[in-house]
Amino acid sequence: MASNSEVGHAKNASNFFDLITVATGYGPLYNPTKTIIKLPNLIAIHAAAETDLATVITDNTAFNNRTNENAAEFSDVRPLSTRLINALEATDATPAKVKDAKAFNRKLQGKKAAKPIEPVDPNTPAPTTISASQLSYDQQIQHLTGLNSVLLSEPTYVPNETPLKTVTVTTKIATLTTKNKAVATAFTKISNSRIKRDKTLYLEENGLVDVAYEVKKYTKSVFGTSSPEYKLISGIKFKRPKKKN
């Protein structure tokens, strides 16, 4: 379910369309001199808002998809690390080398498992900051890379099981890195999409909400506060999102 703020953005755009409809209905009586509240400009602002809202939805879905794919890829890192340690202990590796490998494994196992960023619903707004869970994925990559470097340094580490081979682990690390970077890229994209949407809707003077208020002021000046024409437009509400502390 989308948050109240996300619903509010869409409601503002929808109400702006209603505003345009009423202004159009005034016919030739709606004839402002101020360029930004002329009907062609109102139509253009509404179109831009609808485009920006749709882009946020698309980029939000992409972010959630990348996040869930990333979580799935990382889900077997800890059990894999344990298996790698067991495989190393079954070789002629020195106790010191096994100790080094176990140190990386402890770092992997010692942190709380990074949970997928909830929820999986693509309509749910992406977070406004990269989570602690996401940052922990970076650390897991580093620890697994360190463990693999120990395995690569051991000549007798030549397991027959494909998942335990260093080449497989190397490929796994590359995949983890790619998917983790994809989350960061998607996060940047949704963040920029939100910024653009918010400028279109809420920029002072030229944003959709401020322009809507200007239309109301003009209509009031033309028809009067108590006129039925003004009442048609005065009841159309617009809200700014609450500022975060």
Q: How many CA atoms lie within 13 A of 82 on its CB side?
A: 5
Q: State the Cα–Cα distance between residues 156 and 142, nearest whole angstrom.
A: 24
> Tokens 């653009």 map to which residue?
196
Contact yes or no for 70/183 (Cβ under 8 A): yes
Which pLDDT belongs to residue 134? 63
Structure tokens at 57: 């939805």
Nearest-10 crossing angle of helices 132-152, 77-89: 20
Which pLDDT belongs to residue 119? 43
**One-letter amino acid of 183:** V
Distance between terminal CA atoms of the chain? 24
pTM: 0.82
Report the phi/psi class of residue 131: left, alpha or beta, with left for phi > 0 and alpha for psi in -120 to 50: beta
Q: State the Cα–Cα distance between residues 222 and 87, nearest whole angstrom.
A: 84
Q: What is the pLDDT along the chain (245 residues), one digit of tens a residue?
A: 355 556 689 999 999 999 999 999 999 999 999 999 999 999 999 999 999 999 999 999 999 999 999 999 999 999 999 999 999 999 999 999 999 999 999 999 875 544 544 444 555 676 666 665 666 899 999 999 999 999 999 999 999 999 999 999 999 999 999 999 999 999 999 999 999 999 999 999 899 999 999 999 999 999 999 999 999 999 999 998 877 54
Contact yes or no for 122/157 (Cβ under 8 A): no
Exposed/middle/buried for residue 201 (C-beta within 10 Å: 0-12, 13-18, 19+)? buried
- Alpha helices for 75-122 (secondary structure H): 77-89, 95-110
Angle at Cα 175 formed by Cα 170 and Cα 180, nearest 5°? 125
Q: State the Cα–Cα distance between residues 78 and 85, nearest whole angstrom.
A: 11
Structure tokens at 42: 């109102």
